[in-house]
Copies of this chain bind each other. A is one copy, B any other.
Amino acid sequence: MEISSMVDNMTGLTHDRPVQTSSFCQQFPSVDAAGNYDVVNNVVIPTPGAPDPRAQNSLRQSWEMNYQEAAIYLQEGENNDKFFTHPRSAHALSAYLFAHNHLFYVMELLTAVLLMLLSLSEAPAVPFLRLDVYIHATLELLALALVAFELGMKLRWLGFHTFIKHKRTMVKTCVLFLQFIEAIVVLVRQTSHLRVTRALRPIFLVDCRYCGAVRRNLRQIFQSLPPFIDILLLLLFFMVIFAILGFCLFSANPADPYFSTLENSIVSLFVLLTTANFPDVMMPAYSKNRWSCIFFIVYLSIELYFIMNLLLAVVFDTFNGVEKMKFKSLLLHKRSAIEHAFQLLLSRQRPDGVSLKQFDGLMRFYRPRMTARDRFLTFKALTYSDTTMLSLQDFYKFYEVIGLKWKARRSGEYWFDDLPRTAFLIFKGMNLLVKSKAFQYAMYLVVAINGIWILVETNMVNDGVSWTHVVPLSYIIFLTIYGVEVLLKITGLGPMTYFSSGWNLFDFSVTVFAFLGLIALAFDMEPFYFIVVLRPLQLLRLFKIKQRYRNVLDTMFELFPRMASLGLTLIIFYYSFAIVGMEFFAEVVYPNCCKNSTVADSYRQINVTIGNRTVLEEGYYYLNNFNNILSSFVTLFELTVVNNWYITMEGLTSETTHWTRLYFMTFYIVTMVVMTIIVAFILDAFVFRMNYSRKNREPLDDPEDEKGIVFETEVSQTEALQTLDLYKHTLGVTNLSSLQDMCVALERSGHSSLVFQGRRSRTKSDLSMKMYEEEIQEWYEEYSRTNLQPDETFHRELDSPEANASNSIN
């Protein structure tokens, strides 16, 4: 191909009109839903050299609109927003743009967080955060008004019909309305009433753009519910049968409080399900008749060891399926978004490809802060088959390349290549040293000795006071060794290489912490002593030695975002339960309460005289209360861990009513669901990872190997200059420093071309793509069979003779 035609292709003719016009575009009638093409938009190639400035201008506007809509489609694809919420008019567009930027998202998030945090200050409040009623009620009203404003923007963007059809938004609106009224009531009465509805506040948080992961988790939990509930019923059914049996067998024993009535019997067996009262519940019966243990062994074997595991199996199985389906629908949604965007970028003259000009226009909307050079390189990375035009097939890879960070591949191996000879040799030596096995193992040895040293030292001190006041010599010695190691590694590998490895980052931060701890010790800053105790974390480095640990820890890091979102989901459940708990159980338990319950001991607080000292013997359980939201969270965590949870339950029950148990049992079942899903998630993720590395025979054993996605593209000098030229003159982009830098770098390097590398870390989606390779092809085929795009219909119409005939009017 000649250079001139190539440039021509790359730029796209400036007079070329888009094939399909954006729906935001008001100048031209838009394409209607059926994909029928309007004849107004026909191809007219103005005679070159005599462009009509007015037509040129409107044409440019039309393109800009197209770029924007394409960018919106791609965003929708990325965020998994359904297309029925796609803005349909210029009117909607402005609202959409207003509601879709990080400033708005942050506002949304902050409002929701503020609303949730209010419960810290509302009665029953955390003591040092207590606010007067009129202050927190006003704050709440303000936050709710903000939420209302956000909903207003959404209404404007979605239009009334879509708005009321969007379930989540409708629920949010109703909750908002309710909260508004209640807040006003509180403000008027100047006192809080029983506001259980505060438990609904997390809905505002869940609806935030940034909480998409939490929404997905919740959806997954609800999808796993039906089979879960089935098995739960089986569980409860056996429980009831055994309760009747237990009542019949053991109620004759007056020393046995656990089975004295049918209700007690059911509660005891429910608690036994969690093992929390285990040998105790058996003991009275066991002491009377040794064979009665069979009842309990059978019950636990069936319920705990069989049905509970069945629960996990069923959830795990559902989870597996749901994960795959979710991946599939996301993938197909993205594909569809790409197709929509592609149609908008096509020009009349070259209807099967997108030129750099159009792509650049799109990217300016899609990633406003991307440099011109990166836009150009991304375009180059996408065009595999043809170097000047993007086909739809190329464009399908859009989401794979969009996150790449571009960098010129270093011509030399080391960062010190350009230094003078002597320095080079020194650094080279260091490099070889820190890369050598001997050095690594020496460091492992040091870490191991350090670990043993810490253990011995701690064991010898054994009163826990003296160690904080002097700086032990060993501390300084080991810290020096670690410091030297860090410095050697940074200089030997170069800071960039050093900090690109997660393990090195870990080393670095632990060493820095240890150093801070030393300073804290030396200057006797007591509140920072806790840093010192983080020293043993150094020992974690030992786990690099073994393949499996690296695998585990890598997977852990990969899982971290999902784990965090699951944790957040759990916190949302906690929040709702904490509010309900506070409304009903605040200030209910106190030292020496619950005297007429079976768990009075755990609440007892008495002074005992031992010898000549008076010691306070405490039951402590009064601390597990719902007196404020922080205490409630701790109490709920204790309930999650399950052990001894019945003490809290029985204590509160004895001070309130029997129905209190319902709260605790519901909480137990809810956390059981969430916890089972967390377990299923961890299981699934690990088994997936292991299958993946087995299937792909991934080496995974080079600890320094940066596992990531790498794309490479070569740019020749002439190409670079032409692109610069094109950008300067044709596209009218102003900020070209990145491209200019590239040209300068090319010139300076002395080579005729330079290879650029785009890197990004690997995501779960990349792994899934590889795992489901074959299935994905099937999905695509199925998708293109069942889902013949309106755009494709349109295409065929365009190609057909009738369409061509009708095109000749304008």
Contacts and interface: CB of A to CB of B under 8 A. Distances in A.
A245 B310 contact: no
A643 B464 contact: no
Contact of A252 (B250, B465, B647): B465
Given A230-B549, A316-B687, A641-B300, A458 B244 contact: yes
Interface stretch (A39-47, A280-288, A744-752): A280-288
Contact of A682 (B313, B455, B552): B313
Contacts of A690: 317
A30 B261 CA distance: 78
A682 B310 contact: yes
Given A234-B552, A279-B644, A533-B248, A241 B624 contact: no
Interface string A529-555: 110111011011001001011001000
B312 A620 contact: no
Size class of the A contact interface (CB-based, 8 Å) = 35 or more
Interface in A752-796: none
Interface string A208-240: 000000000000000000010011001001001
Interface stretch (A182-190, A301-309, A342-350, A476-484): A301-309
Interface in A398-454: 454
A310 B616 CA distance: 42
B678 A643 contact: no
Contacts of A687: 313, 316-317, 320
Contacts of A300: 641
Given A234-B552, A262-B462, A620-B280, A313 B244 contact: no
A337 B463 CA distance: 69
Interface string A262-295: 1100000000000111111001101100100100
Given A536-B241, A630-B290, A643 B641 contact: no
B464 A278 contact: no
Interface string A674-707: 0100110011001100110000000000000000
A467 B313 CA distance: 40
A637 interface: yes
A753 B279 CA distance: 66
A441 to B, nearest CB: 19
Contact of A227 (B227, B548, B683): B548
A249 interface: yes
A804 interface: no
B643 A314 contact: no
Given A313-B687, A467-B248, A643 B679 contact: no
A249 B529 CA distance: 9
Contacts of A276: 643
20 contacts: A230-B546, A230-B549, A231-B552, A237-B543, A240-B536, A248-B458, A248-B529, A248-B532, A255-B616, A255-B618, A278-B638, A278-B644, A279-B624, A280-B644, A283-B621, A286-B623, A290-B631, A297-B637, A305-B675, A313-B683
A23 B314 CA distance: 53
B230 A643 contact: no
Contacts of A534: 245
Interface string A593-618: 00000000100000000000000101
A85 to B, nearest CB: 34
A721 interface: no
A563 B465 CA distance: 53
A641 B275 contact: yes
Given A262-B459, A275-B643, A683-B313, A620 B284 contact: yes
A458 B316 contact: no
A471 interface: no
A631 B309 CA distance: 28
A488 interface: no
A795 to B, nearest CB: 38
Given A247-B458, A280-B620, 19 more contacts: A244-B455, A244-B536, A248-B458, A248-B467, A248-B529, A248-B533, A255-B618, A261-B462, A275-B641, A279-B624, A283-B620, A287-B623, A293-B634, A305-B675, A310-B552, A316-B683, A316-B687, A317-B691, A320-B687
Contacts of A248: 458, 464, 467, 529, 532-533
Contacts of A234: 543, 549, 552
A678 B305 contact: yes
Nearest to A635: B279
A621 B458 contact: no
A642 B537 contact: no
A656 interface: no
A230 B548 contact: yes
A9 interface: no
A251 interface: yes
Contacts of A533: 244-245, 248-249
A313 B678 CA distance: 12
A465 B227 CA distance: 39
Contacts of A630: 290
A43 to B, nearest CB: 52
B682 A306 contact: yes
A627 to B, nearest CB: 11
B464 A251 contact: yes
Interface string A648-678: 0000000000000000000000000001001
Nearest to A462: B261
Given A248-B464, A543-B234, A458 B682 contact: no
A731 to B, nearest CB: 51
Nearest to A535: B244
A7 to B, nearest CB: 53
A621 B240 CA distance: 28
A607 to B, nearest CB: 13
A375 B454 CA distance: 75
Which 3 pairs across A and B sit closest by C-beta, in order of nearness?
A: A251-B464, A283-B620, A313-B686
